[in-house]
Structure 1
Amino acid sequence: MSKNIIITGTSRGMGFELVHLFANQGHNVLALSRNAQPVNNLNFDNITSFAFDLCKQEDYLKVKEFIETEWEQVDILINNAGLLLNKPFAETSFKDFTQVYQTNVFGVAEMTRIVLPFMKNDGHVVTISSMGGIQGSVKFAGLSAYSSSKGAVITLMELLAEEYKESGPQFNTLALGAVQTEMLAEAFPDYKASTSALQMAEYIHDFALNGNKYYNGKTLQVSNSTP
């Protein structure tokens, strides 16, 4: 049975791969990113794509209108969009922190709030976080804004799972280790991750479809490196 799935951050990397994985299975996908062009070039009847900025209030209304007129309900929301900043803390400005948190925290909160009224009790909200957001994990200098924002969404999903535990949907977070994406390459040009964007997308795809049968309010650490 096909599901209605919203994915943010779909112009490249894991988000782009996820759109394909779901669409090829026959699911309906709303692909949201600031640059809609890569997904627009695909000839799929079951993919809808338009330019969307997590920092623009009016863009959320476009999503709400689309759901109301085209779908009526949403089965899965994947909060995948993220902004990665690698900069020494002393050089990180108020504006830098604001931009990172607007995308990685406020955007996740607002997108979830907009979509929730259209989700049933067995819906699934999956938020992509980072191992850097896990308390006690190995930290990397230069990621004060990024990793702290990824810690914030972990707690946010735990709170929403508690608040909606009677009515659903389920809320879970995947804290990913390093994945070889364009975003990683831009922030750390010399680093090569062992996991590809497609490999991680396949894991996220399966978890989004089935993980809420076993988990709610949980953070799963998805990393093949030690620590």
Structure 2
Amino acid sequence: MKNIIITGTSRGIGFELALKFANAGHQVLAISRKTPQELIVHANISCLSVDLANESELEKVANFLAETWKQVDAVIHNAGSLICKPFETLTQTDFENVYKVNVFAVANLTRICIPFLQKGSHVVTISSMGGIQGSLKFAGLAAYSSSKGAVITLSELLAEEYKERGIAFNVLALGSVQTEMLEEAFPGYQAPISAEGMATYIFDFTLNGNKYFNGKVLQVSTTNP
């Protein structure tokens, strides 16, 4: 059984992922600002209330790993922040708030985990089709989609830097999934796949994808959005 870190577990895909791994017998560290009771009471889930936008709060993760787990087998960077409004009204603070969660937190948490990642471990970053070069883009998502492009490049760089240590870094660029975040960006739109359905794919990819891929970006989308 593996030790799996998942961010953004308060709702949507992250919540479903935490339950899937835990119900399969794996140990899960669920990281989110708000912690659902269903995760708190699960015997295989440890919950940390962390504001990923605040770098100092990630010390909670560092302390947990040093004192409890000692080893991490997989990290799923699932947490995301979205602001949807016209570019002319976006402020630097808006961009910073999105990038703190979608980019800086990914880098900071990965850096904390590196000493605990062993050969054969897998770091999976959940990006978006909006971050793929040449993909269909949507007005109002300048901060969000550009941040999702940034983590794609970051993952590619980390795959190169840590390949000799046998740590794999891959990105899943998701299309539309029926989550609260999708509803915020595209009110009324109905996605072809549920959060639970996408979690099933990510679950399998996290456990097995590093056997076939490293430094890759996989487009997981039937629709965009």
Shorter-chain TM-score bucket reads over 0.9
**Alignment check: 8 A CA contact 1:11 1:39 kept:** no
1:7-46 paired onto structure 2 within 5 Å: 7-41=6-40, 43-46=41-44
Aligned-partner Cα distance in 2 for 1:226–1:102: 25
Partner of residue 96, structure 1: 94
**Alignment check: 8 A CA contact 2:74 2:121 kept:** yes
Aligned-partner Cα distance in 1 for 2:110–2:178: 27
Query: Could you report, residue by residue, the CA deviation over 1:146-202 in whole angstroms, capped at 9, with x for unpaired residues?
Result: 000000000000000000111121000000001000111122212111110000000
Query: Could you report, residue by residue, the CA deviation over 1:184-221 in whole angstroms, capped at 9, with x for unpaired residues?
Result: 11222121111100000000000000000000000000
- Measured after TM superposition, the shift of residue 58 of structure 1 is 2.4
SS in 2 for 1:145: helix
- Measured after TM superposition, the shift of residue 40 of structure 1 is 4.4
Q: In the alignment, residue 147 of structure 2 is paired with which amino acid?
A: S
- Measured after TM superposition, the shift of residue 23 of structure 1 is 0.4
Q: Does 1:135 align with 2:137?
A: no
**Alignment check: 8 A CA contact 1:39 1:49 kept:** no
Alpha carbons of 1:19 and 1:226: their partners in 2 closer, same or farther (altered >3 Å)?
closer
Partner of residue 168, structure 1: 166
Identity over aligned residues, as a percent? 62
RMSD: 1.2
- Measured after TM superposition, the shift of residue 39 of structure 1 is 4.5
Q: In the alignment, residue 214 of structure 2 is paired with which amino acid?
A: N
Aligned-partner Cα distance in 2 for 1:144–1:125: 26
Q: 1:192 aligns with which of 181, 190, 193?
A: 190
TM-score by length of structure 1 reads 0.96
Q: 2:79 aligns with which of 78, 81, 92?
A: 81
- Measured after TM superposition, the shift of residue 56 of structure 1 is 1.5
- Measured after TM superposition, the shift of residue 69 of structure 1 is 1.2
**Alignment check: 8 A CA contact 1:5 1:74 kept:** yes
TM-score by length of structure 2 reads 0.97
Aligned-partner Cα distance in 1 for 2:138–2:108: 28
Aligned-partner Cα distance in 2 for 1:216–1:115: 18
**Alignment check: 8 A CA contact 2:176 2:224 kept:** no
Partner of residue 120, structure 1: 118
**Alignment check: 8 A CA contact 2:32 2:50 kept:** yes
Alpha carbons of 1:71 and 1:147: their partners in 2 closer, same or farther (altered >3 Å)?
same
**Alignment check: 8 A CA contact 2:124 2:171 kept:** yes
In the alignment of these two chains, the number of paired residues is: 225
- Structure 1 residues without counterparts, runs of 5 or longer: none
Q: In the alignment, residue 94 of structure 1 is paired with which amino acid?
A: Q
Query: Could you report, residue by residue, the CA deviation over 1:81-120 in whole angstroms, capped at 9, with x for unpaired residues?
Result: 0001111100111110000001000010001110111000
